[in-house]
Amino acid sequence: MMQLFDGRGNLLLTEFVLNSNFSNLKVFAADQNQESNPKIGIGGIETAGPQRGPGYQIFESNGTLSQIQFLFDSEF
């Protein structure tokens, strides 16, 4: 789960991310297009389920999900 707060500590949103099959979760800042529009990345390793392997989600600064990417395809 990710929670996003404004500069005064007010909770803006709560978002459930990835799923319970993920371990080793990391949160990182991402600016994919070098557009100075910071995004929030959450990644980890799926230990069960169809993908099994590393993956991540990228959220806009307002909490909107913009990308889900698994690093290996399901045939790997």
What is the predicted pLDDT for the residue at 75? 59
Q: Which two tokens stand for residue 36?
A: 């100075």
Number of domains in the chain: 1
Rg of the Cα atoms in the chain: 13
Q: 31 pLDDT exceeds 60? A: yes
Tell whether 15 is covered by a domain.
yes
Q: Please name the amino acid found at residue 40.
A: I
Least confident of 17-26, 28-37, 46-55: 28-37
| Domain extent at residue 54 | 2-70
What's the half-sphere exposure (Cβ side, CA atoms, 13 Å) at 25?
Answer: 13
Please provide the size of the chain in residues: 76
Tell whether 31 is covered by a domain.
yes
Tell whether 9 is covered by a domain.
yes
Tell whether 76 is covered by a domain.
no
Tell whether 75 is covered by a domain.
no
